[in-house]
Structure 1
Amino acid sequence: MTPRFLLVFLVPSCFQVLFAQSLPTNGLDIERFIEERFAFQDEDIPYEDLYESLLQVHLNPLDLQVVSAEELRSLHILSPLQVETFMTYRTEFGPLLSTYELQAIPEWDLKTIESILPFVQLNSSQTLPGVAGLKRIRTAENAYFILRQRRVWQTRKGFSPPDTLPGGALSNRYLGDPNDVYVRLRLQQPGDFSLGLTADKDAGEPFVWDGRTRRYGMDFLSFHYTLYNKGAMKMLTLGDYQFQFGQGLVFGAGFSVGKGSETVATVRRSSLGLRPYTSVLETGFFRGGAITYQKGNFEWTGMYSLAPRNASIQIFRDSLESSEGYLSSLVLSGYHRTESEIQKKAQAREQNIGTNIHYQSPKNNLQVGANFLHTRYSRPLIPRARVYNQFEFRGENNSIGSLYLSYNFANHYFFAESALSQSMGKGQVVGIMSSLSRQVDFSLVWRKFDRNFHSFYGNAFSEGSRPINEEGFYLGLSYKPFRKITWSAYYDHFSFPWMRFRMYAPSSGSEWLSRFTYTPNKQLAFFFQWREESKSRNLLSDEQSDNQYLLAEGKRKNFVWNMSYQPNQWWQAKTRLQHSSYQINGTKTRGFAIFQDLTGSVGDWKFSGRISLFDTDDFENRQYLFEKNVLWAFSVPNFYGQGMRCYLLAQYKINNQLTCWARWAKTTYTNREGIGSGLQEIPGNEVTETTFQLRYQFNR
């Protein structure tokens, strides 16, 4: 018997023992996965797009027999050493015979394997040979329909009867009902085709058919049809789509984490190329057509997009008798609940023409590429002049291009991208990830974005939510002295050469994080995390002088203690304590939150629940808490003031095709008699919401 077959014969037996008391290896707890990679929560993070990207990979796992090193890195799970050892193992021994064989790969420990199994598979069925036309679509491997409804049961001011204003006019109110409704249809055969339709209506939006305002039943509709691997054509997409190339200076869609408790593997972006857009965020995607051709080691991608954009229109002062006007702002909220919000819907047309050329060396250790994107608006975009936005984009046209490369040498991975926008503003990202030993991984990233660098679809590694007006240097480290202990940390220093919102002077800042994880056994895990951030901002108006804006350094501190206990595969408990403080101009405020989670399963039922308490002095100390939700929905609420939050989530698998979810959540405040403001205001101190969802899976 050869050593390879002896190894594969012995490893499954050992591996089954190791997994005997673990959760099912094909399951995915997305909330847990994201929490492990986010050190803290922030309102600037596009959680929904992140959540969507993860589920897309989960539903279309990477085939370990053909997966590239770049695709493995894109999961942000493996260290450079682990990627290198996998590729070397597969080259030396050939195709894997079983997922149990992953334990035989050097440097792949049990935790790594448990983390990656929901995103990989062996020998995926790429096509349906001999099946054509509609039958090919009807027999798709991954086909499902989802219907979801969510509602807040207290009456917000926007749903109350309108008041009569002086002169007889009625006050502003929402035009629709208080239900959120979400519909999704997906038919997909991995490696062959994907067909999808997503529709969404937010609370307060009316269900109407009005072509003038581009409302066709649901307020937002998204559609795509994608073909894969048809000869030299690697991919063709019609409808809504996104791009991910280089380090995100031009095209930056997809799963991009940035700074978090995973301090090494998440600092770079992956060149995954063209992908369908399936989220309900009403911005950040293209609408039209795109195609990717492959010849040898070269790929060429071209795209055209003509998409409506929500915008506020103003009339030029010298043309009151004409319809000429300009866009004073692009509206990104996606809400169309009132007459004024509906008037801004699809008021602008955004045309994009772009291309990418990508080269990958035969040994897959070198990637070189170029991006170009030209954007044209139907009217000039002229934001209202502010003291801090003098270098923001103004006009109808913007062009941006970039060059990028990545190079892998042994356990060291180098990446870089440099871009130039039409305004002659530059953007650069340069970094390295390296495994110095079996115990030590580190990362370095330097970035610089000019104050007049304009990238509408960029999502590069940065402190701000956009790559503009910033320079910074990041150092990340991960150290595993023993199998049960991990220490990770990062330090980031950044500066803003020009003014920003709430920073009316050039400024700088820094932040660092340290996280210690201890796993004494498979059932129990602890982590302690400390983060500090120093960043300047304007003083309040009554603290300013008469002739200049004054800044003060604000220092934010966060501490998290977490314990997870999983005695068997049927239930798990988690306890967490969070504390924060914020100090500026001699004033210090604090906040804390504590919660207890319990998750279990009995037969075809799955349950999850939480009770949490919070107490904060002000909004600066608001506490973000990831919560479990129904499939394809995310929940990251933040709380400030004093109160209690609890929720219950139940999932029941009726049969192989039909699954249902129900969720109830309630927040009770002890220090207020009104919640929210404006049309979102709720009288009283309680908010109760429910969510119901049905999923029907075809071909099961």
Structure 2
Amino acid sequence: KDPGELNWADHIGGFLEMKSDIALNQLIAGDYILEFGQGITLWGSYSFSKGSDAVSGIKKKGDGIDSYNSVNEVQYFRGTAAKIKLPVSFGDFSLYGFYSNNSIDASIDTVLNQLSSDYVDGYHRTQSEIDRKNAGNERLYGGRLLYESKLFGTAKIGLTYYNSRYDKPFEYKGLFEFSGTKSNAIGADFDFVFKNVNVFGEWARSYTDIVGGVTGVKILFFKLADVVFMVRNYPKNFIMLHSYGFGEQSGTSQNEFGIYSGIRFKIGKLAVINAYYDQYKFPYATFYNPVPTSGRDFMTHTQWNVTRGFTLFTKYKNETKEDVTSVINSYGLEEDKIYDRTQTNYRLQFDYDIYRTFRVRSRFEYVFVDNNGYKTSEKGLMFFSDIRVSPLRNLIVDGRFIIFQTDSYDSRIYEYENELNGVVSNQGLYGKGRRWYLMLKYKPYKFLELSAKYSETVIEGAKTTGSGNDEVMNDLKNRFSFQLDIKF
């Protein structure tokens, strides 16, 4: 149940899973996700991309078939999936098979009986949102063959295929958007490790007969430094329905070409330094810009182990991305103008483990946005302090207090929060205000966990907070979440 929904059981999900050491290695019935290769052919609804770890987070490490019990109500499969493992003298073969019959939320053109748009937010609060619930259906089946060997280093080679069909056609919206009822994809992925060199990647062919993918190389130098290079190429007509490849556009493996370089360097036990540089371009118009654009960003992150239990973090990130704005030309006419938007973030953070059961963390972050004279430059800052206390072995208490002030939404600052299992919270804070939350996790038995979180956000001087169906008619927005996990 989401806030505002009248049905207390608006979404119900679950699964039964069996794992063993016999040939039938895994069997699942119910809700699941598929994570293969580098996410080009099939991946789940979420994946980390660029971050403070410039090396490890770039290469995906999928779980194959994974049970699903997250809060996302639509981006998963519902049906059956199985894995058969066949060891041979020269390696292991794994055969995967999967079938899904799942409903999707979509708006329908009742005249043509077509799906005009699909929705992934899972909200069913108003009548129009309720009408979209389960309006469409997708049936998907496929398989995967994986070979693993350790004869010469480590080698993994996989081949994945799926076929998808919707019960109603998606209407035509453009040359490079999915339309119709049928889709399929086939992809090959590889992962070779020999001594200190790792070559990995995945390339796939979409139902439009276009090939796209990624290739990366990771090298370890004398246990002191790791470097990684990756090239990604997703053509504008590379249309993949269940892809989540690495890239600037989160979750969209389409209309992007980029080259990424990252390094992680260790200075004994004193410090770890991460840095990356990424260049990318969008060869065709995107949702945000009507013309092709490009960008680049640089990040450096340092972890200083000052004393036992006390760690200092510094982070600098500079990103320049082409944006489009409307200007009045010399003839008095309005025209689109491409300009460079540069955003710079500075962060200072420390973690202090006072005792094994008590940790303190504080962070200060400053952001400056330079719009190159086409818009007003902006700035913002955020400070938070949080604690984690574990008075009992089976009880964890997290609390955080945040103050923030930014010129507008364009200079917002993000902060990841501790959350209930299966929930990812990356709050974008803007305006002037404060926020706090308190979360408890209690595990009285091995099979049972209780968790709850309460949060409040206050925007100074605001008459309303949020927008649309999330709008609150005052300056306070609060939320309470409760979760019960039973595992057997």
- TM-score of the superposition, structure 2-length normalised? 0.91
Aligned match of 1:568: 355
What do residues 521-557 of structure 1 show as CA deviations (whole Å, max 9, x unaligned)? 2221001100111112221477998475332221111
Equivalent of 1:371, from 160, 175, 179?
A: 160
* 2:245 match: 460
Q: 1:239 aligns with which of 30, 38, 48?
A: 30
* Alignment partner, residue 625 of structure 1: 415
Q: How far apart in 2 are the matches of 1:476 and 1:594?
A: 28
What corresponds to 1:211 in structure 2? none
| d(CA) in 2 for partners of 1:606, 1:305 | 38
**1:638 to partner: Cα distance:** 2.0
Judging changes above 3 Å, is the alpha-carbon distance between structure 1 residues 658 and 502 closer, same or farther for their aligned structure 2 residues? closer
* 2:466 alignment counterpart: 676
Contact map agreement 2:70 2:422 (CA 8 A) in 1:
no
Aligned with residue 644 of structure 1, among 431, 434, 439:
434
The unaligned stretches of length 5 or more in structure 2 are: none
1:554 equivalent among 341, 344, 349 = 341
SS class of match (1:235) = strand
The structure in which a higher percent of residues are helix is 1
**Selected match of 1:501 from 287, 291, 298:** 287
The Cα of 1:254 is off from its aligned counterpart by 7.7
Are the equivalent residues in 2 in contact too, given 1:504–1:551 (CA < 8 A)? no
Partner of 1:117: none
Pick aligned residue for 2:399 from 609, 613, 616:
609
CA 245–503 in structure 1, closer or farther in 2 if over 3 Å, else same? same
Aligned to 2:457: 667
User: What are the residue-to-residue correspondences of 1:21-32 with 2, within 5 Å?
Assistant: none
| Structure 1 residues 478 and 221: alpha-carbon distance in aligned structure 2, compared to 1, 3 A threshold | same
Q: Using the TM superposition, name which of 673-682 and 535-544 deviates more.
A: 535-544
Partner of 2:96: 301
| Distance (whole Å) between structure 2 residues aligned to residue 679 and residue 403 of structure 1 | 43
Paired AA for residue 688 in structure 1: N
Asked if 1 retains the 8 angstrom alpha-carbon contact of 2:327 and 2:337, the reply is: no
Query: Corresponding residue for 1:26?
Result: none
CA positional deviation for 1:380: 1.4
Partner of 1:675: helix, strand, or coil? Answer: coil
Match 1:335 to one of 119, 123, 143: 123
8 Å contact kept, 1:220–1:280: no
Deviation at 1:262, TM superposition (A): 0.8
**1:441 paired residue among 226, 234, 238:** 226
1:589 counterpart residue number: 378
Q: CA deviation at 1:335?
A: 0.6
- 1: CA distance between counterparts of 2:80 and 2:362? 48
Q: Is the 8 A contact 2:105 2:133 kept in 1?
A: yes
Contact 1:424 1:452 in 2 (8 A): no
Cα deviation code 1:105-136 (max 9, x no counterpart): xxxxxxxxxxxxxxxxxxxxxxxxxxxxxxxx
Q: Percent identity?
A: 28
Q: What is residue 278 of structure 1 aligned with on the other side? A: 69
**Do the aligned partners of 1:265 and 1:433 also contact (CA within 8 Å) in 2?**
no
Secondary structure of 1:222's aligned partner: coil
Inter-partner Cα distance in structure 2 for 1:643 and 1:658: 37
Contact 2:71 2:423 in 1 (8 A): no
Q: Displacement of 1:232 after TM fit?
A: 2.0
Q: Distance in 1 between matches of 2:452 and 2:487?
A: 18
Match of 1:149 in 2: none
Contact 1:480 1:487 in 2 (8 A): yes
Cα distance 1:237–1:632, how it changes in 2: closer, same or farther (>3 A)?
closer
Contact 2:368 2:377 (C-alpha < 8 Å) held by counterparts: yes
Distance 1:653 1:301 in 2: 35
Indicate conservation of the 8 Å contact 2:70/2:423, yes or no: no
Q: Which residue of 1 aligns with 2:146?
A: 358
Give, as a single letter, the amino acid of the residue that structure 2 aligns with 1:497: P
Amino acid at match of 1:206: L
Q: Secondary structure at the match of 1:556?
A: strand
Q: Is 1:599 equivalent to 2:388 in the alignment?
A: yes
Kept after mapping to 1: 8 A contact 2:46/2:244: no
2:18 to 211, 227, 252: 227
* Cα drift, residue 696 of structure 1: 6.1
Say if 1:575 and 1:542 are closer, same or farther in 2 by CA, change over 3 A: farther
Indicate conservation of the 8 Å contact 1:503/1:536, yes or no.
Answer: no
Q: Specify which structure has the bigger relative contact order, considering alpha-carbon pairs within 8 angstroms and separated by 6 or more residues.
A: 1
Q: 1:674 to 1:513 in 2, by over 3 A?
A: same
Quick one: which amino acid aligns to residue 303 of structure 2? T
What SS does structure 1 have at the residue aligned with 2:130?
Answer: helix
How far residue 326 of structure 1 moved from its aligned partner, in angstroms, is 1.0
Is 2:326–2:337's contact at 8 Å kept on the other side of the alignment? no
Summarize the alignment of residues 167-206 of structure 1 with structure 2, pairs less than 5 Å apart: 201-206=1-6
Alignment deviations for residues 660-685 of structure 1 (CA, whole Å, 9 cap, x no partner): 54543222222312112233221221
RMSD across aligned C-alpha pairs, in angstroms? 2.4
Matched ranges for 1:68-107 at <5 A: none
Query: Looking at CA atoms only, which structure, 1 or 2, has the larger radius of gyration?
Result: 1
Amino acid corresponding to residue 327 of structure 1 in structure 2: L
Query: Is the CA contact 1:241–1:274 (under 8 Å) kept in the aligned structure 2?
Result: yes
From the superposition, tell whether residues 510 and 525 of structure 1 become closer, same or farther in structure 2 (CA, over 3 Å): same
Q: Which amino acid in the other structure matches residue 200 of structure 2?
A: F
- Counterpart CA distance in 2 for 1:667 and 1:643 is 7
Distance 1:602 1:245, change over 3 A: closer
Q: CA 1:650 to 1:220, structure 2 compared with 1: closer, same or farther past 3 Å? A: closer
In the alignment, is the contact (CA less than 8 A) between 1:425 and 1:451 conserved in 2? Answer: no
Asked whether the 8 Å contact 1:607–1:648 carries over to 2, the reply is yes
Q: Secondary structure at the match of 1:539?
A: strand
1:395 aligned to 180, 184, 194, which one? Answer: 180
Structure 1, residues 467-497: CA drift from partner, whole Å, max 9, x if none? 0000000000011123111111000000111
Give, in whole Å, the separation in 1 of the partners of 2:370 and 2:202: 37
C-alpha contact 1:503 1:551 (8 A) present in aligned 2: no
Determine the C-alpha separation between the residues in 2 that align with 1:240 and 1:447: 31
SS at match of 1:500: coil
The CA deviation string for residues 17-74 of structure 1, in whole angstroms up to 9 with x for no partner, is xxxxxxxxxxxxxxxxxxxxxxxxxxxxxxxxxxxxxxxxxxxxxxxxxxxxxxxxxx
SS at match of 2:469: helix
1:654, CA displacement in angstroms?
5.7
The partner residue of 2:303 within 511, 517, 523 is 517
* Alpha-carbon contact 2:159-2:187 (below 8 Å) kept: yes
More strand by share: 2
Partner SS, residue 410 of structure 2: helix
Q: Does 1:450 align with 2:235?
A: yes
8 Å CA contact 2:326, 2:336 repeated in 1 = no
Q: Out of 375, 382, 385, which is 2:171 matched to?
A: 382
1:529-544 matches, cutoff 5 A: 529-540=315-326
Using the TM superposition, give the Cα deviation of residue 271 of structure 1 relative to its aligned residue in structure 2, in angstroms. Answer: 4.7
Q: 1:509 to 1:666 in 2, by over 3 A?
A: same
